[in-house]
Amino acid sequence: MIVPVISGTFADVLRIRVLGPLEAESEGRPVPLGAPRQRAVLAGLLAARGAVVSVDRLAEDLWRGTPPAKATASLHAYVSNLRRLLEPERPPRAPAGVLVTCAPGYALRLPDEAVDAWHFESRLEQARRAAAPRSRELLAEALSWWRGPAFQEHADEEWAAPEAARLTALLADARELAVAADLRAGPPAEAARAAAALVEAEPLREEGWRLLALAHWACGRQAEALAVLRRARAVLREELGCDPSPVLTGVEQALLEQRLDVLRAGTSPGTDPSGGLDESHAAGVPVAAAEVRTPPPGTAGAEAARPFLGRARELRTAEAAARAARAGGGLMLVTGEAGAGKSAFLARFADRLAGDGWTVVVGRCPEYEGAPPAWAWVEALGALARQAPAAPAELAVLLHEPDAAPAATRDEATAGRFRMHRAFAAWLSAAADGRPLAVFLEDLHRADGETLALLEAAAAVTGVPLLTVGCYRPAEAGDRLAKTLAQLAPRTPHRIALGGLPADAVATVVAAVCRTPASPDTVAAIAARTGGNPFYVWESARLLDSEGALVALSEVPQGVRDVLRRRLALLPDAALAALRLVAVMGADTDVALLVEAADTDEESVLEGLDAALAADLLTEPGPGRVGFVHALVRDTVYTDLTGVRRARLHDRVAAVLRRHRPDDLAALAHHFARSGRSVNAPLAVDYALRAAEQAERRYAHDVAVGLLAQALDVHAAATADPYADPDSSIALLVRLLGAQVRAGATDAARHTRQRAADLAVRANRDDLVAAVYGAWTEPSPWRTRLEGLFDRTALARLERLAGDRALDEATRARVLQVLADAVAGEDAARAREAADAQLALADSSGEPRLLASALMTSAKLPPHERQAGGRDPLVARLRLLAAEHDLPAYRWVCEHLDAMTAATRNDPAGVRRHTGEGLHLADRYGMLWARGINATTRAMLAAVEGRFTEAEERYAQAEELFRRVGAHHANGPRTLGLWTIRFTQGRTADIARSVREVHEAVGEPVAVAHALLLARQGRLDEAREIRFPALPVTDHLYGIELDYRSELAVLCGDTTTAGLLAGHLLPLQDQFGGAAGAAYATRPLAHPLGDLYRLLGEEEAAADAYARAERVALAWNSSLHAASARRAAAELAAARRRRRIFVP
């Protein structure tokens, strides 16, 4: 896929990938493709496959039908940038050779080998014409180029959809051709597994069924091949209302008639499942492949590819049963609900038995109507007949169609059946006499009477090593199976009940399916929702991988829903009615309340519950209580209810709860909110507010957020005009905003604040505007540079409100706090002025929370490097106040502020101690946002000591915690932390794309980092073109910015800036760069100070600075930075010696 691209005198090596994320490489190095619209230009031209795309068309596509006035200019800029990136060595003014101008637009001029999608298509055509062995090689290579869906990042764009669909259809063709090639030139068992994946992924695509049937036949499993084709017919009839095509029915007919010429046409010439028949009958048969879309690679969850986990104890039990059976026979019964993994368990057990010298045969009771009687035994004995002694004539009816006429009288039938059963037992005994024999019968809950009668006969065989194994679903066992189980009970069968997988096995399944790691909480939630059912776990993991945690933990995977609906359809009406009511009432329900809420008599409700319990859909967690075995069952039942029925059930439940449990506030709020009656809206809001208050008293702020959002939704639905009475709407929004802040959900809080502020401004109510801004005063994740500058309109509004003497003092104090936070990084003097005014107002009010927030504001003002001395008395006051009034969030703030102070004093042990105390409080009170900040501090400590892998893991942990609470810019700490690590490691190429894209998005706040990155790459002219403020920003990154500005000045030889920066660094020369913010760190600030002195020619001062840098590094246990300071000092000394030597 590497191809030379000639452009005039320019020669380069370029490849572009669209089968997954859009990527490009030149000479083996990644090419940064720029901002999203610029990338979309390239993707649009790739989708055109070399054809010209007009400028108008590109503009329409890029701006989704509404291009701005200057769209053409922007488009030309994107094209110019792409040309520079794709042909970096093209001389100035030389014509482009890759992205060319062709009236009325642009086109790509690349050979097929340069673009993975084009190359894939050409390889597919080669594979169609190649012999099977060569076809396998070509297809394996071509399929390996797929890294995800075609045009993955533009999948929602109309212009990309046709080409993505075409490529996806070609992918389906390629997969089917690969399986067909496997059948002709590879192991048929491998082809069977691949075909099973095709069928599971696309059950309506007939070619997969055809290949799977042929693969089973090639493996010698004729019965399974027929079962596959019958299942295909059932699926097509149910889903499409049509019969299979002539191709598929032809294969079925060939199997029934043993037409080997047709069957061998699709399989390897070396495979002869018939046992050595003449190959002269082999002939070809045309195969049609339908144009149907297939999921991208890795999304099909074929059973064969699923890991076998969590059944070690059950396998040991089965192996013990096998050892006992060697001495004289035995019986084993395996049970489990649908999806419990019975087939996988038996397959693994069968493999172990075969490895121990057992003969293993398997029969499956068919799931469709109209199957021949005793089909499971026909299947099992047919396999046994190929290995055991010749079967007696009496068993002809079980092995093939007998020649004799059926019995004419009842006596004849009874006698014939007796002789067949006797011959059956004798033949099994003879077959097991020479070699241990295991007979597996699957799905006995679907067995007919004769199958069960023969099972009883087999279980009665003793004295030989015969192990009879049956498996079934207890919830679907009918009367016939119940009678057989009663007959078998005296034989004391070994029993194995397959329950849910343990937590570690669930985690392994999720890790195997998902392309990105899932959080422990997400894995635990999947385990709880699925009850560990392997099939449910697998399907939920697939949903998690494709849709994310929010969907996976709130919706039922379609495959699981289909299985559960089938089980529900078997229930009587009374059981369904009871399940619906339980689903509405919740996961764990009081039966007495259930009976009262039902619209029928108690006996009918109890009968329904009995049936649901017997079907293993409900469980009894305690006396008088019922609940669903899995949350997925509840969700399926609940979502299948119509909206009208669901609302009526909620209304009845709400009325019952209000009579009997008036203090169950959250439940009452939930049911009244969903009752669908406007008259219930005030009740729903009132209960939600009271429940939220109760939740916050228990520090369950996330729960309070949900309840308040619910109250707001109900209020909005019942309010025709929110501007007619803005007070009540804004009061709810302010309550929600406060809860979101306390929960750490700052992203949602910003949206809520904006919504409330807009409503207050439109109502022309300054008092309400002030109340909105003043609601955000609780401790929360603090601002990061990646958020950019504070909104100018909002800032002007804050300034106006801060000076409004008409507001009450408490409201003004809160507004001043928001103002101080907003301007802290831009105007330190104004921030200090606002904080002092806030503290004065809070002191005069005497209100504990107001005073606590004011002390916090003053204590955390940046730059942190300069605040240590003045912070101590503020934190001491805040600590006493928080302890006296039980304010845990402020207690955590005290620990974090003390950790920051310890950092300014080069006391890493103190940083660890206070961070540990803070983490203890965060864990105790469920403050996830605080845990996230503690994780960044621990990451910083690890990075300072050179434990970079640990540091990256802790920054990733912080990101996950911030994401869980919905923090604004949750990825900020990880992004900035990774930048500091990579700059320290000298691996700037790893972060070049990230730094550039963040700079494009945020602008000046991160411009210094981008300029330094360019300077380190030797691109000094580009670095000098980057614009940023003349003075360092005095926010939480002040120390890091001083370090980076200093290095940039040295690399650029800028002595003027060096002198200015030396003045900033000198008061901070005993500190470690950035550590004062307790989130990120670079190196001792004396080191860049020494570099500046050296640039300015002040070598004695430079030497002193390097020595100081080494001491600071050693205080932080940073051997890496100590060694770096020593090297700098040694280089300086060597340079001075050289000058002395050469001076005349």
Residues 227 and 328 in one domain: no
DSSP tag of 26: E
Residues 44 and 90 in one domain: yes
DSSP tag of 757: H
Q: What is the mean pLDDT of residues 728-741?
A: 86
With a cut of 50, say whether residue 438 has pLDDT above it. Answer: yes
- Which residues make Cβ contacts (< 8 Å) with residue 739, sequence separation at least 6? 692, 696, 701, 704, 705, 708
**Residue 258, pLDDT score:** 61
**Residue 940, pLDDT score:** 97
Residues 875 and 904 in one domain: yes
With a cut of 60, say whether residue 789 has pLDDT above it. Answer: no
**Residue 941, pLDDT score:** 97
How many residues are recorded in the chain? 1144
Residues 370 and 442 in one domain: yes
Residues 689, 690, 696, 702: is their CA dihedral positive or negative? Answer: negative
Q: Select from 127, 142, 157 the last residue of a domain.
A: 127
With a cut of 90, say whether residue 936 has pLDDT above it. Answer: yes
Q: What is the mean pLDDT of residues 526-540?
A: 83
DSSP tag of 971: T
With a cut of 60, say whether residue 1020 has pLDDT above it. Answer: yes
**Residue 163, pLDDT score:** 87
- Looking at the domain assignment, is residue 1021 inside a domain? yes
Q: Give tens-digit pLDDT for 1066-1109.
A: 999 999 999 999 999 999 999 999 999 999 999 999 999 999 99
Q: What's the pLDDT band for 12 if we cut at 50, 70, 90?
A: very low
Q: What is the mean pLDDT of residues 367-393?
A: 72
State the burial class of residue 3 (Cβ atoms within 10 Å of its Cβ: 0-12, 13-18, 19+): middle
Closest Cα partner for 769 from 796, 790, 787, 789? Answer: 796
> Total domain count for the chain?
6
Residue whose tokens read 């929010």: 550
Closest Cα partner for 804 from 757, 763, 845, 768? Answer: 768
With a cut of 60, say whether residue 10 has pLDDT above it. Answer: no
Q: If you average pLDDT over each of 65-74, 372-381, 814-823, 886-895, which comes out highest? A: 886-895
Residues 387 and 260 in one domain: no
Q: What's the pLDDT band for 764 if we cut at 50, 70, 90?
A: confident
Q: Which residue has the higher pLDDT, 1075 or 666?
A: 1075
**Residue 262, pLDDT score:** 55
Structural domain boundaries, residue 111:
3-127
Q: How far apart are CA 113 and CA 116, in angstroms?
A: 7
State the burial class of residue 552 (Cβ atoms within 10 Å of its Cβ: 0-12, 13-18, 19+): buried
Tokens, residue 475: 């919830």
**Residue 305, pLDDT score:** 43
Angle at 890 between CA 887 and CA 895, to 5 degrees: 130
Mean pLDDT in the chain?
83
**Residue 901, pLDDT score:** 96
Q: How far apart are CA 424 and CA 432, in angstroms?
A: 12
Residues 248, 252, 257, 259: is their CA dihedral positive or negative? Answer: positive
Instruction: Kindly give the pairing relationship between strand 437-442 and strand 466-472.
Output: parallel
**Residue 784, pLDDT score:** 58
With a cut of 60, say whether residue 1136 has pLDDT above it. Answer: yes
- Looking at the domain assignment, is residue 304 inside a domain? no
Q: How far apart are CA 820 and CA 822, in angstroms?
A: 5
**Residue 468, pLDDT score:** 94
- Which residues make Cβ contacts (< 8 Å) with residue 974, sequence separation at least 6? 955, 956, 958, 959
Q: Is 102 helix (H, G, I), strand (E, B) or coil?
A: strand
Residues 997 and 1116 in one domain: yes
Q: Which residue has the higher pLDDT, 824 or 1072?
A: 1072
Cα separation of the two ends of the chain: 62
Q: Which residue has the higher pLDDT, 288 or 887?
A: 887
Q: Select from 499, 516, 542 the last residue of a domain.
A: 499
Closest Cα partner for 145 from 16, 308, 316? Answer: 16
Instruction: Kindly give the pairing relationship between strand 618-622 and strand 625-628.
Output: antiparallel
- Which residues make Cβ contacts (< 8 Å) with residue 275, sequence separation at least 6? 386
- Looking at the domain assignment, is residue 718 inside a domain? no
Q: 292 and 202 in contact (C-beta within 8 Å)?
A: yes
- Which residues make Cβ contacts (< 8 Å) with residue 758, sequence separation at least 6? none
Residues 445 and 378 in one domain: yes
Q: What is the mean pLDDT of residues 1006-1016?
A: 94
Residues 337 and 250 in one domain: no
Q: What's the pLDDT band for 879 if we cut at 50, 70, 90?
A: very high
Q: Give tens-digit pLDDT for 105-149.
A: 888 988 888 899 888 988 888 888 887 778 888 888 888 888 888
With a cut of 60, say whether residue 284 has pLDDT above it. Answer: no
Lowest mean pLDDT among 368-372, 693-697, 699-703, 946-950: 368-372
DSSP tag of 337: -
- Looking at the domain assignment, is residue 113 inside a domain? yes
With a cut of 80, say whether residue 977 has pLDDT above it. Answer: yes
Residues 488 and 549 in one domain: no
Q: 931 and 921 in contact (C-beta within 8 Å)?
A: no
Q: Give tens-digit pLDDT for 512-527.
A: 777 778 888 888 888 8
**Residue 296, pLDDT score:** 32
**Residue 783, pLDDT score:** 57
Q: What is the mean pLDDT of residues 437-451?
A: 89
**Residue 1099, pLDDT score:** 93
DSSP tag of 460: T
With a cut of 90, say whether residue 799 has pLDDT above it. Answer: no
Q: What is the CATH number of the domain that holds 793?
A: 1.25.40.10
Q: Which residue has the higher pLDDT, 406 or 683?
A: 683
Label each residue of 57-85 as H, E or C: HHHHHHCCCCCCCCHHHHHHHHHHHHHHH
Share of the chain above pLDDT 90, in %: 32
Q: Which residue has the higher pLDDT, 1042 or 964?
A: 1042
- Looking at the domain assignment, is residue 719 inside a domain? no
Residues 230 and 338 in one domain: no
Residues 52 and 111 in one domain: yes
682-719: buried (b, 16+ CB within 10 Å) or exposed (e) per residue?
Answer: ebbbebbbbbbebbbeebbbbbbbbbbbbbbebbeeee
Q: What is the mean pLDDT of residues 390-399?
A: 68
Q: Which residue has the higher pLDDT, 745 or 11?
A: 745
Q: How far apart are CA 284 and CA 191, in angstroms?
A: 19
Q: What is the mean pLDDT of residues 375-393?
A: 77
Q: Give tens-digit pLDDT for 956-966.
A: 999 888 887 77
Q: What's the pLDDT band for 302 if we cut at 50, 70, 90?
A: very low
Closest Cα partner for 670 from 729, 730, 636, 658? Answer: 658
Half-sphere exposure of 1068 (CA within 13 A, CB side): 31
**Residue 239, pLDDT score:** 67
With a cut of 80, say whether residue 2 has pLDDT above it. Answer: no
DSSP per-residue string spanning 593-658:
HHHHHSSS-HHHHHHHHHHHHHTTSEEEEETTEEEESSHHHHHHHHHTS-HHHHHHHHHHHHHHHH
Q: Select from 127, 148, 174 the last residue of a domain.
A: 127
Q: Which residue has the higher pLDDT, 501 or 280?
A: 501
**Residue 390, pLDDT score:** 66
Q: How far apart are CA 1030 and CA 205, in angstroms?
A: 65
- Looking at the domain assignment, is residue 687 inside a domain? no
- Looking at the domain assignment, is residue 706 inside a domain? no
Residues 423 and 390 in one domain: yes
- Looking at the domain assignment, is residue 60 inside a domain? yes
With a cut of 90, say whether residue 1126 has pLDDT above it. Answer: yes
**Residue 1075, pLDDT score:** 96
**Residue 1013, pLDDT score:** 94
